[in-house]
């Protein structure tokens, strides 16, 4: 009360110059800047003094020294490498968590977000419980739980869970292929908004054929094609071992097919889009483009299978220490080919190598090994963040006004078209900015890897600091690394955001 | 989402004309309709429903299986204290308790104020919970008998697989007065091997070994029988070479059964690997054979190789059939020997004899014999029986001669070793029972009667496992595991200087499969009793607070704050700010003790000024509200503030954050009141009664200090002189007060303003240095204080008194209390008189002020309606009553009374600094959260405003800070605070980690809050600013009065979300070694009794986190729904 009622400041106490707002502001800023500089300078001096007292100088030269410590999950790194190499290992490991994690969490988050809006009560409630439980408990606790409870409960490596189980199984491949063709045909030819009666008939007959073929195929024909299954994935307390696909000498040529497929698909897409726009005739351009692309990929694979191969291959026989000539097929079956030879002579662009344990059944010799710490941090982050993303997706979809849905129904759009053409573009506009925040959170939370001893950038730098004593430099490097990751994610998300924002005047 | 089918009324009527009445559409309404709508809407829906139900069933059953069947909840029940406050000194537990109780009280008041409409439900639930908590344990205990504990007695050593155990002779236990300990032979329970193997309850190691042996034998028996059957049917031999199969199928016809068995076993061992029960059994059998083979003929290696191969799990199947006749003999011979007792040997001989006589004609070793003679049914049965008995060792019962030896048991006093009860247990009916006379250690001695040899299992009631718990660095106690009720602090008993073993959990692992009954009786009563002990006082206090609140509400009338539903959060947020600045100030300056001298004074002043300015702003705002249509008494607002602040203040103080030492504040209570006073004084800079009390108080302080310092030390203990002194002080106070009230007419406005400003500074000085004054004549402190006092008086006499505000009452009461507390540290019971005197002073001044304000009141009543003044009259009285009651209760809690009821007078005795390294559990989690929120909010606000500033230097500095902090993980900041801070200033190395963590969390959270607030600011229409400028408001006024209130209101959900994530992020401090909830969970699983019980502890920790986070988000949603976020809703 008193403030408003009382008199204004006296008008003639100061010369006019000092009553000019701009000048006052300038002065204030200068003072502020000076204070900031003084404080920062003081900080720096103090740190320098402290460091000098322990004979250190904050620079980056030490990074060239020999590291002298080993790291898990480190690829080709060894303790003889330099600090900078160790740092790089950490950085790459962090990126492994962050990039894969972003992809996985987005998928799960969107799925759960759509479940949250399901018309099914149980599904809705389950996903609600999922979201609430996960986002109301700390991520650190969740990571601990994954590591110490979930992964510790897995069997030891010798009794690892294998998937698929090793053995020969009969699969009705022909029937599958046939069914697939029929289903594709139905999909292609019986869709559309105004579907004539005969098309419905075709559809029903097609479905009947598929059902019959499968039933009779399995019941009557029975056996199918015997296929040998090798375990592609082993899950045990020591982590997960996954098969690897190694590009062979044919990979390059095959990629040419793939690229051509992509180009053709895009051209078709454009062309049919143009036709639709000019004639109004609805064409499922995405479908056609996809089929063409897959066709090219498969074609490439088939063509590769027909490459000329040498009739005999020289195989090194260890026992007799001689190189023996073997017919092509026998050589491949003998299992005595070196990996280089396999890559050179195979008829496949990619070679499948199942994970194998070494003799003692301890370490994974071939295949990709995923350590339990990686699993824990990955699952923890992905599941935790997905709860938040689910909420964002739900809110985004709900933010689309009801009138939009009603209008699109009135226009006769199908459920899928409505989602694709009306709901999603509008929802994405709301979803993307907070989604970017969650991505940033995930990337920053990846530093919690230290809790499960995963060698991410943070832990590596910590080790480096302990070894070299360069705490200031180390910390600066960590901060910079995270800043770089954060800024990259922000940049990408901003670009995406711009793409989806409403263009206004 | 869940649209209910609606019935169109008009259409129903039209149909009615044509077709008469119809049954209701049962398929579309009610439960069926709901199910059709929500569960079985379409084929896909049906599939989803089925899958989801399966998933739910799986989860639910899995959970209950684990929770009831195998989880060890003692890990939680016995570590409750650890989870709540870790190793906080037990002598200070009252602080925490007090804090909780006061929070409960205010919760009740708040419920009365804010949630009246839905309270019926709350009351019902609360009552139900109380009844359940109180009633269930006795019911369970009376219905379900307490399971026995089992102990082994005797003098036979019990062989385990790896070691040999002998039953303990002496066993210490603790028992409660009035309980009965009874012991008897467990013959009824364990009369056969089956029951022995399933023995459920606590049992010592030797008993465990017995039970394990029994279970193993049973398994072996079963598996052997199964193996025999499968062998006969050829099931296990599928896929083997035909030759081998034949060998096995001719098993019943061979004359060398054991050799064939060996062969068979080798095949099985080769085919099956892993943990299969059968295989492990067969392996066991093989081991026995191996030992045999080793002993007799080391040259024969083929069987050893096979065994080795089986061990590795990769046996080669071709190694099947060339056992020499020598070896066969050897094995036969050896096996019968190895099997041990004579009985088995006989059995083996018998079996072989039987085989040769009954079934064996010509031994048939032919590989391709297709015409096997199948044994008859009877023969098979017999053979099977023999096979099993041969392969299964002797029963445990017979082996140790369980229960057939008389046992002598004695119960003794553990200290004096005096025999309290003794008995001889020889048969099923014998029992020794003893009523425990007093709580304490007892000793159970059990042994076989002299000259006898044997083992017995004793079943005991009333002897429970014990855990030893360390409470703090100095204190530990022994607690009974199963009921957690009896806690004994005396050290464990010894005989001849050696500790007597007591019944610990590790020795007494619960064994057997736990059923629901056992679960109920073991876990529910102790847990419920524990919860009850925590929750019941809480509930009762809540109810008490609620009743008080309702009374207050009733007294205040319909339009009071209790019925007002808007903008409470903003109020709360605003009212928290000053408090938190203060807390920051304490924590940083005094708690750390790092900064001293001039910087400390400057910082103190800055903090205090922050408070004053903010409070001024709130006061203005309140006055503005009061003038407007929103006719709420400022008392009500003030009460709301008080309630908002009080719990936090209590919490902070109660647990001693900021290191409020005795020297700084005077006493805990003094500190509390001081804190509140700071706040309310801000509201009362112009109040008449406020002057009275303040001035009087300061006179009293000065006089007190002067007297203490100048006059002989002891005289104020003399009641008469002290009464005289206080009366004199009171007289001065009354004089000053009445002067202040009379001279309220305003002088020159400018003079008043400068006077106000200067005296504010002075006032702060006075307040800050009051304690210095009262402590000693210390350098320039009295001088400063005196100067301050002069300015203060000047302001008081020359500035105009303003409106009558009921805040003054509260201020007055607080001040009163403060002074009272201060005085209580000096003299004990005379302070009560002092207190009464001051009450009288207060009442007089109240009366005086009231009559002096009559004129003015009439004028203002005409302006803003009579309602305000009705509150003003009633409210203070009610509030005063509540306060007086509270104040009468508080001292006994707060001020330390020693055992004789004598007050502890030295401030340092009242509040020594506790060791912060011992803090932990929920306490730290909440502290970091509350203090983090409080400190980061103003900083975040400032950053947000700075970022929107049009001064580039400020703007870019803020942007830089926000973006850098937002770009790095919190854990980096935490480590920076721990590692790098000492580099910056070595003196900071002494700061506790909790303070550093708090600073890091604050810095981190502030950047995020800044972005949230900025979002709110950006959402405002530019028109708001323009209009404000048009009205002539300055930039600051625009920001504070126009922009911030709207902006904050718009981003309430985001703010609460940030607070929740701050709460969860406090878990990261466990990585830098603080024992918050997560840290404690990791500590619990390191205890030897609960090693690796991570499921239970993590679940419990998660539940704690969940409850708090969910509560916060629930409140946030309620606020959103009830319209405080209305601005935002409109905008979207």
User: Could you say which DSSP state residue A388 is in?
Assistant: H
Q: Read off the pLDDT of residues A47-73 as tens digits, 9 standing for 90 and up.
A: 778 777 776 666 777 788 887 788 877
Percent of chain B with pLDDT over 90: 6
DSSP state of B714: T
Q: Which of A92-106, A486-500, B488-502, B662-676 has the highest mean pLDDT?
A: A92-106
CB contact under 8 A, B1078 and A140: yes
Looking at residue B597, its pLDDT comes to: 44
Q: Are A145 and A172 found together in one domain?
A: no
Query: What share of chain B has pLDDT > 70, as a percent?
Result: 43
**Bigger pLDDT: A340 or B766?**
A340
Residue of B1077 and B912 predicted with greater confidence? B1077
Helices (H) and strands (E) counted in chain A, each on its own, are: 17, 12
Residue B721 has pLDDT above 70, yes or no: no
Does A324 or B295 have the greater pLDDT score?
A324
Q: Is the Cβ pair A50, B983 closer than 8 Å?
A: yes
Given CB atoms, is A423 within the 8 Å cutoff of chain B? no
**Nearest C-alpha neighbor of A475 from the set B632, B975, B394, B212:** B975
- How near does any CA of chain A get to the CA of B866, in Å? 20
- pLDDT level of residue B552 (50, 70, 90 thresholds): low
Q: Is residue A420 in a domain?
A: yes
The answer to whether A478 contacts B964, with C-beta atoms less than 8 Å apart, is: no
Nearest-neighbour CA in chain A from B537: distance (Å):
28
- Is residue A27 scored above 80 in pLDDT? yes
Tell me which chain B residue has its CA closest to the CA of residue A452: B1071
| Rounded Cα distance, B369 and B366, in Å | 6
In chain B, which residues have their Cβ closer than 8 Å to the Cβ of A458? Answer: 969, 971-972
User: Do A294 and A169 belong to one domain?
Assistant: yes
> pLDDT higher for A312 or B905?
A312
- Which range has highest mean pLDDT (A455-469, B416-430, B1037-1051)? A455-469
- A65 in any annotated domain: no
Lowest mean pLDDT among A114-123, A267-276, B29-38: B29-38
Is the per-residue pLDDT at A402 higher than 80?
A: yes
Q: Nearest CA to CA, how far is A456 from chain B (Å)? A: 13
3-state secondary structure of A138: coil
Among A397-406, B509-518, B692-701, B705-714, the least confident range = B705-714
Nearest-CB residue to A141 (from B53, B802, B1098): B1098
Between residues A72 and A187, the one the model is more confident about: A72
pLDDT of residue B544: 67
Per-residue pLDDT, A59: 74
Structure tokens at A377: 């941090």
Judge if A103 and A141 occupy the same domain.
yes
Please indicate, yes or no, whether residues A433 and A483 belong to a single structural domain of this protein.
Answer: yes
Q: What is the mean pLDDT of chain B?
A: 61
More confident residue, A118 or B630: A118
Backbone angles phi, psi at A152, to 5 degrees: -65, -20
Q: How far is B214 from chain A (nearest CA, A)?
A: 27
Quick one: pLDDT at residue B293? Answer: 43
Q: What is the mean pLDDT of residues B88-112?
A: 66
Residue A200 lies in a domain: yes
Domain match, A125 and A169 both: no
Contact A440 B966 (CB under 8 A): yes
Residue B680 has pLDDT above 60, yes or no: no
Length of chain A measured in residues: 505
Structural domain count of chain A = 3
Residue A477 lies in a domain: yes
What per-residue confidence (pLDDT) applies to A285? 80
Of residues B268 and B107, more confidently modeled = B107
Q: Looking at the structure, tell me whether residues A113 and A87 fall in a common domain.
A: yes
Most confident of B31-40, B322-331, B742-751: B31-40
Q: Which residues contact B1034 (CB under 8 A, 6 or more apart)?
A: none
Cα–Cα nearest to A236, from A361, A144, A94: A361
Q: Per residue in B876-925, pLDDT tens? A: 344 344 434 433 333 333 333 333 333 343 333 333 334 566 678 887 88
Q: Quick one: A394 and A489 in the same domain?
A: yes
Closest CA to B462 of B173, B77, B139, B208: B173
User: Can you state the percent helix, strand and coil of chain A, rounding each to 5?
Assistant: 65, 10, 25
Indicate the pLDDT class of residue B95, thresholds 50, 70 and 90.
Answer: low
The confidence band for B859, taking pLDDT boundaries of 50, 70 and 90, is low
Cα torsion at B600, B604, B610, B611 (round to 10°)? 160
- On whether the CB atoms of residues A377 and A449 are closer than 8 A, the answer is yes
**pLDDT recorded at residue B642:** 42
Nearest CA in chain B to A156: B274
The residue in chain B having the minimum alpha-carbon distance to the alpha carbon of residue A486 is B967
Instruction: Please answer yes or no on whether B1078 and A444 come within 8 Å at the CB atom.
Output: no
pLDDT number for residue B310 = 34
What is the rounded CA–CA span in Å between residue B1119 and residue B1113?
10
SS3 B597: coil
Identify the CATH number of the domain in which residue A148 sits. Answer: 1.10.3720.10
> Is residue A376 located within the same domain as residue A441?
yes
Question: For the residues of B4-48, what is the DSSP string, one character each?
Answer: PP---HHHHHHHHHHH------TTTSHHHHHHHHHTSSSHHHHHH
User: From CA B327, how far away is CA B334, in angstroms rounded?
Assistant: 10
Find the CB nearest B1067 among A141, A159, A475.
Answer: A141
B-contacting residues of A 93-132, CB under 8 Å? 117-124, 126, 132
| Torsion B198-B201-B205-B207 (CA) sign | negative
Question: What is the spatial distance between Cα A248 and Cα A337, in angstroms, rounded to a whole number?
Answer: 14
Q: Hey, is the C-beta of A175 within 8 angstroms of any chain B C-beta?
A: no
CB B973 within 8 A of CB B1000: yes
Test A1 with B623 for CB contact under 8 angstroms. Answer: yes
Which residue, among B679, B423, B426, has the nearest Cα to B576 in the 3D structure?
Answer: B679
Which is more confident, A210 or A258?
A: A258
Query: Is residue B1072 pLDDT above 60, yes or no?
Result: yes
Contact between B1082 and A144 using a beta-carbon 8 Å cutoff = yes
**pLDDT for position B1061:** 92
- Give the model confidence (pLDDT) of B1008-1057 as tens digits: 999 999 988 888 888 888 898 898 888 877 887 788 878 887 888 888 88
Instruction: State the pLDDT at residue B1101.
Output: 94
Structural domain includes residue A441:
yes
A354 within some domain: no
Average pLDDT, chain A: 81
Region B749-753: mean pLDDT is 40
Lowest mean pLDDT among A227-236, A251-260, A314-323, B314-323: B314-323
Instruction: Name chain B contacts of A152, Cβ cutoff 8 Å.
Output: 1094
Check CB contact of A35 with chain B, cutoff 8 Å: no
Same domain, residue pair A16 and A128: no
pLDDT of residue B382: 57
Q: Is the pLDDT of residue A422 over 80?
A: yes
Going by pLDDT thresholds of 50, 70 and 90, the confidence category of residue B247 is: very low
Name residues 194-233 of chain A within 8 A of B (Cβ).
Answer: none
For residues A392 and A274, membership in a common domain is answered with no
Query: Where among A289, A304, A319 does a domain terminate?
Result: A304
Q: What is the pLDDT of residue B242?
A: 39
pLDDT at residue B1067, as a whole number: 93
Least confident residue range of A434-443, B47-56, B492-501: B492-501
pLDDT band at B663 (very low <50, low <70, confident <90, very high): very low
CA distance A195 to A207: 17
- Secondary structure of B989-1049 as H, E, C letters: HHCCHHHHHHHHHHHHHHHHHHHHHHHHHHCCCHHHHHHHHHHCCCHHHHHHHHHHHHHHH
Cα separation, B904 vs B901, whole angstroms: 9
Q: Cα separation of B907 and B616, whole Å? A: 32
Instruction: Report whether B616 contacts B577 (CB < 8 A).
Output: no
The reported pLDDT for the residue numbered B554 is 54
CA distance B816 to B831: 12
User: Which residue of B lies nearest to A34 if distances are taken between CA atoms?
Assistant: B953
- Of residues B1057 and B544, more confidence is placed in B1057
Q: Report the gap between the CA of A138 and the closest CA in chain B (Å).
A: 5
| A9 and A116 housed in the same domain | no
The whole-number pLDDT of residue A260 equals 92
* CA pair distance B600, B583, nearest whole angstrom: 15
The mean pLDDT of B368-376, rounded to a whole number, is 43
| Most confident among A305-319, B34-48, B331-345 (mean pLDDT) | B34-48
> Closest approach of chain B CAs to the CA of A309, in angstroms?
38
B410 forms beta bridges with: B422, B445
Q: By residue range, what is the domain housing residue A225?
A: 165-231+243-304
pLDDT top residue among B534 and B3: B534
Strands (E), B521-565: none
Average pLDDT of the residues in B166-186: 84
Residues of A in contact with B617 (CB under 8 A): none
Please determine, for residue A464, whether its predicted confidence score (pLDDT) is greater than 80.
yes
For the full predicted model, state whether its pTM sits above 0.90: no
pLDDT per position as a tens digit, B216-234: 778 777 777 776 666 555 4
- pLDDT for B1132 beyond 50: no
Q: Which residues contact B409 (CB under 8 A, 6 or more apart)?
A: B153, B183, B422, B423, B424, B425, B432, B444, B445, B446, B458
Most confident of A384-388, B185-189, B637-641, B1034-1038: A384-388
Q: Report yes or no: A33 at the B interface, CB cutoff 8 Å.
A: yes
Q: Which chain B residue lies closest to A450 (C-alpha atoms)?
A: B1071
A491 in a domain, yes or no? yes
Enumerate residues 335 to 374 of chain A having a beta carbon within 8 A of any beta carbon in chain B: none
Residue B461 is encoded by which pair of tokens? Answer: 């009631």
Q: Is residue A326 part of a domain?
A: no
For residues A137 and A17, membership in a common domain is answered with no
Which of A344-348, A435-439, B593-597 shows the lowest per-residue confidence on average (mean pLDDT)?
A: B593-597
């Amino acid at each position: 009360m008193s403030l408003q009622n009382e008199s204004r400041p006296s008008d003639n106490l100061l010369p006019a110059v000092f009553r000019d707002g701009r000048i006052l502001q300038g002065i204030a800023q200068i003072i502020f800047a000076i204070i900031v500089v003084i404080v920062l300078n003081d900080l720096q001096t103090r740190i320098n003094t402290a460091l000098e007292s322990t004979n250190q100088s904050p620079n980056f030269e030490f990074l060239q020294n020999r590291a002298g410590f080993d790291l898990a999950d480190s690829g080709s790194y060894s303790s003889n490498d330099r600090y900078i190499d160790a740092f790089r290992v950490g950085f790459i490991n962090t990126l492994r968590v962050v990039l894969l994690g972003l992809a996985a969490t987005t998928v799960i988050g969107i799925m759960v977000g759509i479940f949250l809006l399901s018309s099914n009560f149980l599904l809705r409630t389950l996903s609600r419980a999922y979201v609430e439980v996960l986002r109301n408990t700390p991520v650190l606790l969740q990571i601990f739980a994954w590591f110490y409870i979930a992964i510790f409960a897995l069997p030891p490596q010798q009794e690892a869970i294998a998937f698929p189980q090793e053995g020969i199984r009969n699969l009705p491949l022909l029937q599958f292929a046939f069914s697939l063709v029929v289903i594709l045909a139905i999909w292609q030819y019986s869709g559309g908004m105004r579907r004539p009666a005969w098309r419905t008939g075709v559809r029903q007959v097609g479905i009947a054929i598929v059902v019959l073929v499968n039933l009779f195929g399995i019941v009557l024909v029975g056996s199918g094609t015997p296929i040998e299954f090798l375990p592609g994935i082993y899950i045990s307390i020591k982590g997960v071992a996954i098969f690897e696909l190694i590009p062979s000498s044919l990979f390059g040529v095959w990629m040419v097919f793939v690229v051509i497929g992509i180009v053709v698909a895009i051209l078709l897409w454009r062309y049919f889009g143009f036709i639709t726009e000019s004639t109004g005739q609805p064409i499922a351009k995405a479908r056609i483009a996809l089929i063409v692309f897959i066709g090219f990929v498969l074609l490439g694979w088939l063509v590769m299978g027909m490459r000329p191969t040498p009739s005999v291959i020289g195989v090194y026989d260890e026992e007799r220490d001689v190189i023996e000539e073997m017919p092509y097929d026998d050589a491949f079956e003998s299992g005595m080919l070196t990996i280089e030879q396999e890559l050179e002579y195979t008829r496949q662009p990619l070679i499948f190598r199942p994970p194998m344990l070494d003799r003692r059944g301890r370490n994974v010799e071939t295949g990709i090994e995923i350590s339990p710490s990686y699993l824990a941090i990955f699952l923890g982050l992905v599941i935790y963040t997905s709860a938040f993303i689910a909420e964002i997706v739900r809110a985004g979809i709900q933010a689309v006004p009801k009138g939009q849905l009603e209008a699109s129904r009135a226009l006769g759009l199908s459920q899928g078209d409505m989602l694709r053409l009306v709901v999603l573009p509008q929802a994405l506009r709301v979803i993307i900015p907070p989604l970017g925040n969650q991505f940033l959170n995930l990337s920053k939370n990846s530093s919690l890897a230290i809790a499960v001893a995963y060698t991410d950038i943070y832990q590596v730098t910590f080790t480096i600091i302990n070894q070299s004593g360069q705490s200031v430099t180390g910390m600066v490097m960590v901060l910079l690394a995270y800043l770089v990751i954060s800024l990259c994610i922000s940049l990408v998300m901003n670009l995406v955001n711009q793409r989806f924002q409403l263009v206004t005047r | 989402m869940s649209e209910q089918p609606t019935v169109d009324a008009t259409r129903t009527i039209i149909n009615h004309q044509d077709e008469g009445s119809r049954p209701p559409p049962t398929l579309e309404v009610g439960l069926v309709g709901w199910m059709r709508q929500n569960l079985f809407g379409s084929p896909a829906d049906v599939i989803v429903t089925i899958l989801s139900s399966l998933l739910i069933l799986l989860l639910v059953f899995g959970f209950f299986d684990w929770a009831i069947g195998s989880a060890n909840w003692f890990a939680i029940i016995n570590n409750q204290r650890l989870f709540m406050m870790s190793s906080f000194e037990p002598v200070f537990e009252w602080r925490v308790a007090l804090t909780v109780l006061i929070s409960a009280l205010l919760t009740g008041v708040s419920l009365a104020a804010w949630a009246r409409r839905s309270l019926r439900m709350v009351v019902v639930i609360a009552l139900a919970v109380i009844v359940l908590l109180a009633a269930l344990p006795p019911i369970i205990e009376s219905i379900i008998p307490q399971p026995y504990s089992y102990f082994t007695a005797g003098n036979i050593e019990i062989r385990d697989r790896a070691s040999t155990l002998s039953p303990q002779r002496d066993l210490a236990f603790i028992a409660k007065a009035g309980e009965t300990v009874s012991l008897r032979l467990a013959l009824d329970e364990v009369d056969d091997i089956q029951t022995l193997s399933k023995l459920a309850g606590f049992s010592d190691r030797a008993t465990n070994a017995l039970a394990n042996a029994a279970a193993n034998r049973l398994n072996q028996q079963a598996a052997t029988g199964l193996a025999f059957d499968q062998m006969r049917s050829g099931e296990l031999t599928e896929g083997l070479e035909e030759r081998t199969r034949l060998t096995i199928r001719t098993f019943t016809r061979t004359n060398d059964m054991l050799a064939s068995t060996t062969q068979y076993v080798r095949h099985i061992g080769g085919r099956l690997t892993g943990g299969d029960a059968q295989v492990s059994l067969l392996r066991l059998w093989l081991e026995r054979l191996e030992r045999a083979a080793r002993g007799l003929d080391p040259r024969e290696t083929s069987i050893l190789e096979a065994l080795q191969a089986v061990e590795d799990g990769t046996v080669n199947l071709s190694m099947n059939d060339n056992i020499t006749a020598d070896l066969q003999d050897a094995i036969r011979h050896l096996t019968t020997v190895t099997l041990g007792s004579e009985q088995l040997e006989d059995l083996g001989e018998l079996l072989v004899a039987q085989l040769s006589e009954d079934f064996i004609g010509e031994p048939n070793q032919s590989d391709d014999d297709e015409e096997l003679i199948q044994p008859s049914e009877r023969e098979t049965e017999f053979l099977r029986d023999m096979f099993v008995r041969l392969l299964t060792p002797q029963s445990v019962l017979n082996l140790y001669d369980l229960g057939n030896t008389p046992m002598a048991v004695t119960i003794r006093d553990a200290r004096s070793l005096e025999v309290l009860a003794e008995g001889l247990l020889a048969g099923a009916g014998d029992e020794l029972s003893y009523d425990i006379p007093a709580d304490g250690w007892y000793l159970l001695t059990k042994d076989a009667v002299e000259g006898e040899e044997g083992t017995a299992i004793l079943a005991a009631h009333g002897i429970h496992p014990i855990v030893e718990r360390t409470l703090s660095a100095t204190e530990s106690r022994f607690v009974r595991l199963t009921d957690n009720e009896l806690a004994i602090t005396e050290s464990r008993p010894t005989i001849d200087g050696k500790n007597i073993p007591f019944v610990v959990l590790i020795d007494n692992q619960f064994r057997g499969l736990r059923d629901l009954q056992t679960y109920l009786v073991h876990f529910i009563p102790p847990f419920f009793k524990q919860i009850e002990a925590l929750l019941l006082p809480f509930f009762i206090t809540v109810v008490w607070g609620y009743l008080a609140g309702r009374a207050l509400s009733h007294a205040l009338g319909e339009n009071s704050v209790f019925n007002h539903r808007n903008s409470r959060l903003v109020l709360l947020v605003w009212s928290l700010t000053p408090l938190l600045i203060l807390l920051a100030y304490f924590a940083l300056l005094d708690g750390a003790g790092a900064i001293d001298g001039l910087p400390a004074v400057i910082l103190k002043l800055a903090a205090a000024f922050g408070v004053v300015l903010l409070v001024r702003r709130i006061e203005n705002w309140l006055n503005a509200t009061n003038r407007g249509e929103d006719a709420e008494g400022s008392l009500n607002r003030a009460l709301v503030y008080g309630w908002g602040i009080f719990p936090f203040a209590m919490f902070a103080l109660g647990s001693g954050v900021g290191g409020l030492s005795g020297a700084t504040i005077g006493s805990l209570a003094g500190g509390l009141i001081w804190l509140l006073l700071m706040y309310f004084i801000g509201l009362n800079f112009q109040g008449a009664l406020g002057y009275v009390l303040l001035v009087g108080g300061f006179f009293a302080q000065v006089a007190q200090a002067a007297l203490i310092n100048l006059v002989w030390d002891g005289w104020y203990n003399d009641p008469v002189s002290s009464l005289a002194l206080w009366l004199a002080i009171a007289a001065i106070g009354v004089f000053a007060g009445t002067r202040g009230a009379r001279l309220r007419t305003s002088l020159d406005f400018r003079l008043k303003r400068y006077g106000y400003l200067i005296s504010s500074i002075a006032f702060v000085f006075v307040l800050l240095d009051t304690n210095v004054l009262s402590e000693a004549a210390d350098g320039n402190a009295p001088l400063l204080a005196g100067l301050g006092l002069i300015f203060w008086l000047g302001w008081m006499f020359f500035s105009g008194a303003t409106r009558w505000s009921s805040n003054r009452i509260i201020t007055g009461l607080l001040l009163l209390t403060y002074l009272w507390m201060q005085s209580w540290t000096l003299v004990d019971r005379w302070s009560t008189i002092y207190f009464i005197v001051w009450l009288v002073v207060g009442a007089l001044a109240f009366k005086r002020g009231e009559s002096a304000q009559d004129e003015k009141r009439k004028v203002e009543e005409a302006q803003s309606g009579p309602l305000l003044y009705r509150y003003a009259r009633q409210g203070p009285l009610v509030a005063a009553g509540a306060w007086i009651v509270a104040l009468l209760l508080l001292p006994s809690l707060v001020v330390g009374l020693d055992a004789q009821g004598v007050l502890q007078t030295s401030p340092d005795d009242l509040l020594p600094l506790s060791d912060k390294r011992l803090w932990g559990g929920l306490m730290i989690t909440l502290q970091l959260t509350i203090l983090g929120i409080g400190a980061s909010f103003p900083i975040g606000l400032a950053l947000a405003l700075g970022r929107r500033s049009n001064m580039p230097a400020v703007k870019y500095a803020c942007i830089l800070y926000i973006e850098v902090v937002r770009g790095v993980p919190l854990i980096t900041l935490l480590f920076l605070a721990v590692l790098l801070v000492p580099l910056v200033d070595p003196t900071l190395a002494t700061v506790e980690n909790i303070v550093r963590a708090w600073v890091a969390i604050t810095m981190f959270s502030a950047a995020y809050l800044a972005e949230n607030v900025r979002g709110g600011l950006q959402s405002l229409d530019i028109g708001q600013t323009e209009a404000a400028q048009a009205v002539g408001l300055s930039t600051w006024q625009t920001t504070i009065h126009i922009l911030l209130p709207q902006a904050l209101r718009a981003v309430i959900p985001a703010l609460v979300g940030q607070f929740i994530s701050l709460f969860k992020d406090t878990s990261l401090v466990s990585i830098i070694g603080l024992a918050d909830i997560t840290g404690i969970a990791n500590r619990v699983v390191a205890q030897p009794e609960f090693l690796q019980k991570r499921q239970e502890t993590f679940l419990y920790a998660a539940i704690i986190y969940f409850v708090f986070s969910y509560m916060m988000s629930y409140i946030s949603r309620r606020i959103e729904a009830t319209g405080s976020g209305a601005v935002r809703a409109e905008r979207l």
